[in-house]
Amino acid sequence: MLNNVPVLTTLPATDINRAKEFYEDKLGLTIEEFYEDMMVLDANGVKITVYERPKPTKADHTVMTFEVKDIENEINDLKNKGIVFEDYDMPDLNLKTNKNHVAVMENDKAAWFKDSEGNILCLHETLVK
């Protein structure tokens, strides 16, 4: 069954070298394999494949989330590396980011940013365990 196998995610990029710089230099992920048109990254044991394609895709939703222990600290670290955070106001989801780009919900906090290719990434902190 699939509950006993590793899971990986696959993301598109229109410029694999730009994506490499973003994920390696800005996010600090380890590149395990790098080819002319794709790379495999390691994020604490989770594999992320990024492949180059000629046209960008348009996902208007979160494609990958990083579970963090201190969202404010992570936001500050990423902002210092040039990451720009998104702000949202979605009344139908009862979700609105504050001035620090964080949406505070009942049991968690979240903040969103885009990678170099326009993919929406999320930081998530669970408040109640």
Average pLDDT of every residue of the chain: 93
> What is the percentage of the chain residues whose pLDDT exceeds 70?
99
12 and 51 Cβ atoms separated by less than 8 Å: yes
Residue 108 β-bridge partners: 126
Residue 66 is predicted with a pLDDT of: 96
Q: pLDDT tens digits for 76-91?
A: 999 999 999 999 998 8
Q: State phi, psi for 3 to the nearest 5 degrees.
A: -75, -5
Q: Is 99 exposed, middle or buried (0-12, 13-18, 19+ CB in 10 A)?
A: exposed
Name the pLDDT band for 1 (thresholds 50, 70, 90): confident
Name the pLDDT band for 17 (thresholds 50, 70, 90): very high
Closest alpha carbon to 61 in 118, 124, 127:
118
Closest alpha carbon to 123 in 79, 70, 58, 81:
70
Question: With 90 as the cut, is the pLDDT of residue 23 above it?
Answer: yes
Q: pLDDT tens digits for 48-70?
A: 999 999 988 888 899 999 999 99
